[in-house]
């Protein structure tokens, strides 16, 4: 395993990280089965684990599974998404951060978190308040590095600028979506994170299941194809599958190897739920794509472009709230 440095933190992490959303018992896994998957990943050299307080009981499952092996891993978790009905049990306010971190530390059975990440941007909280609270956690030793996820490029730049001007610690990492089907971050996000020396942990490398190599009919039966946008994505998936076949690679290996080939990507998240899923992904750890194959992928999905969007992709308020992109009716009609 050739480890990479996580931004400028000095922390060495594996190019593949283990995502643990599927470890939540609500996903159908028994905790002991998830523990076996986790231990096998560690034995294979993967030392980077990512979870979140909003992933059901995933933090509990991970904490129990890591007993006796905590020092073997770089442990990342996230805060910010709703964890209950209380409107203050979410977001990026200092009030919630100081509570959320203690809850995660307890569930993970540890005295520190290696990478603490804001799960999604919180437009209702001043970024200075968020970075001030996170900087205090760094100084206390409860957190060793801080990051964010799904952040628009303008907000990444603002966060770094505010940290510099206010004497705070800026985000060390960013966690965007990236796959053969979703290459939009190549246009601005990755160049900006590289410029600021940030580590990048990408999620969704298998396109929410579309890049697993399963037949199209099976993807439809599994509910992964629900509307016209997905059908158009399947046409592209078919072309990529043909490239994988010509290269003698399983589709999963092509998809994962593609994500870590970009110099701005530190690690890509494996979302294995079962031992069989993990075995398949581990078999591709040493796959390296040739320049010719990468050029042919560029012809199918041009650099910096997205083929559709993922269900969990972050939409900023300017796109979600009509009032932010429409002048008042009276003002429009008066014109």
Return the number of other C-beta atoms located less than 10 Å from residue 275's C-beta. 12
d(CA 264, CA 115): 18
Q: Tell me if 230 sits within 8 A of 301, measured CB to CB.
A: no
Q: Which residues contact 308 (CB under 8 A, 6 or more apart)?
A: 181, 182, 229, 230, 232, 233
Q: pLDDT per position in the chain (335 positions), as tens? A: 899 999 999 999 999 999 999 999 999 889 999 999 999 999 999 999 999 999 999 999 999 999 999 999 999 999 999 999 999 999 999 999 999 999 999 999 999 999 999 999 999 999 999 999 999 999 999 999 999 999 999 999 999 999 999 999 999 999 999 999 999 999 999 999 999 999 999 999 998 888 988 777 777 666 666 554 667 788 899 999 999 999 999 999 999 999 999 999 999 999 888 899 999 999 999 999 999 999 999 999 999 999 977 666 777 888 788 887 887 867 767 76
Find, among 93, 92, 111, the residue nearest to 102 by Cα: 111
Query: How many residues are given for the chain?
Result: 335
Q: Tell me if 75 sits within 8 A of 19, measured CB to CB.
A: no
Q: Is the dihedral of CA 57, 60, 65, 70 positive or negative?
A: positive
Domain count for the chain, please give it.
1
**CATH number for 169:** 3.20.20.100
d(CA 150, CA 143): 20
- Scan for tokens 């990943």, then name that residue: 41
Domain extent, residue 176, equals 4-334
Q: Which residues contact 165 (CB under 8 A, 6 or more apart)?
A: none
d(CA 110, CA 102): 10
Using CA atoms, how far residue 63 sits from 22, 49, 237, 277, in Å, is 15, 11, 37, 22
Alpha helices in the chain (DSSP H): 31-43, 58-65, 94-108, 127-140, 153-166, 189-195, 216-221, 228-247, 251-261, 275-282, 291-300, 317-320, 329-334
3-state helix, strand, coil in the chain (%, to 5): 45, 15, 40
Look up the pTM and report it: 0.92
- Scan for tokens 């569930």, then name that residue: 107
The catalytic site residues sit at: 55
* Joined tokens for residue 184: 């939009």
The pLDDT score that the predictor gives to residue 226 is 58
d(CA 146, CA 269): 18
């Amino acid at each position: 395993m050739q480890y990479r440095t996580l931004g400028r933190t000095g922390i060495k992490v594996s190019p593949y990280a283990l995502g643990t959303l599927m470890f939540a018992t609500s996903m159908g896994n028994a905790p002991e089965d998830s523990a076996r998957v986790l231990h096998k990943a560690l034995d294979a050299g993967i030392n980077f684990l990512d979870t979140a307080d909003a992933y059901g009981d995933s933090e509990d499952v991970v904490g129990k599974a890591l007993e006796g092996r905590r020092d073997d891993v770089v442990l990342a978790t996230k805060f910010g998404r709703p964890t209950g009905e209380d409107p203050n049990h979410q977001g990026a306010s200092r009030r919630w951060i100081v509570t959320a971190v203690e809850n995660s530390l307890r569930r993970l059975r540890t005295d520190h978190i290696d990478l603490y990440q804001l799960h999604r941007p919180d437009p209702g909280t001043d970024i200075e308040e968020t970075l001030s609270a996170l900087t205090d956690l760094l100084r206390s030793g409860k957190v060793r590095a801080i990051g964010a996820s799904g952040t628009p490029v303008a907000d990444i730049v603002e966060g770094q600028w505010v940290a510099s001007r206010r004497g705070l610690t800026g985000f060390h990492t960013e966690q965007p979506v990236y796959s053969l089907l979703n290459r939009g971050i190549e246009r601005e996000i990755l160049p900006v994170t590289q410029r600021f020396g940030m580590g990048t942990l990408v999620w969704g490398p298998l396109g929410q299941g579309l890049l697993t190599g399963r037949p199209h009919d099976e993807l439809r039966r599994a509910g992964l194809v629900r509307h016209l946008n997905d059908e158009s994505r399947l046409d592209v998936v078919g072309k990529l599958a043909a490239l994988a076949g010509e290269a003698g690679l399983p589709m999963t290996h092509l998809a994962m190897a593609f994500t870590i080939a970009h110099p701005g990507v530190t690690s890509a998240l494996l979302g294995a739920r079962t031992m069989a899923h993990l075995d398949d992904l581990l078999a591709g750890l040493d796959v390296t794509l040739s320049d010719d194959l990468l050029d042919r992928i560029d012809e199918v999905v041009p650099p910096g472009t997205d083929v559709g969007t993922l269900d969990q992709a972050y939409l900023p308020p300017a796109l979600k709230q009509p009032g932010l992109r429409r002048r008042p009716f009276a003002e429009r009609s008066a014109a």
